[in-house]
Amino acid sequence: MSFTIRKIQKEDAQSIIEIDAMQSGEEKPAYWNERFKYFFESSNALGYVAIENEKIVAYVLAEARALEFGSQLCGWVFAIAVNPNFARQGIALALCRQVCLKFKELKINTIRTLVRKDEVSVLSFFRASGFKAGPFIELELELLD
């Protein structure tokens, strides 16, 4: 294990956009720039990057959220990704652990995330990290013409 973890900085934005594009197959600079605008100004947001050979190879972005749908204050992991060339080294787990530690310091004891049900590898990662189904069910409505 030769990577290190540090707090995210504004200058990391481009690397995050690139890793996300590697994972999703789609570059979304507009989405990310909008997201970062809010993220770097929010006192509830926290993020970390993993660095190997001076290069950012993974990131996790999270925030403390409360009151949506009657939820108590909890931590939300809303993005986590590893450059596929650096997969299977325990980097995502280490990042997740770092976020959990920070939330614990903030006296937040529940961490949540949202994953597509057919993203089996991501689901497996969170399951293996101890995540279980929570008290909410995501519902959606398709608005037809």
**Looking at 130, 142, 144, 145, which residue binds other proteins (CB under 8 A)?**
130
117 binds other proteins (CB under 8 A): yes
Three-state DSSP at 51 gives strand
Instruction: Decide the pairing of beta strands 74-82 and 111-113.
Output: parallel
Give me the least distance between CB of 131 and other proteins, in Å please. Answer: 9
Does 123 interact with other proteins (rule: CB under 8 A)?
yes
Q: How far apart are the first and last CA of the chain?
A: 53
Min CB(129)–other proteins separation in Å: 5
Give me the helix-helix angle, 29-39 and 13-24, nearest 10°.
130
15 vs 98 by CB, closer to other proteins: 98
**Using CB under 8 A, which of 6, 120, 134, 136 touches other proteins?**
120
E runs forming strands in 1-140: 4-7, 45-52, 55-65, 74-82, 111-113
Beta bridge partners of 64: 75
93 sits near other proteins (criterion: CB under 8 A): yes
Q: Where along the sequence are the contacts to other proteins (CB under 8 A)?
A: 93, 96-97, 100, 117-118, 120, 123-124, 127-130, 133
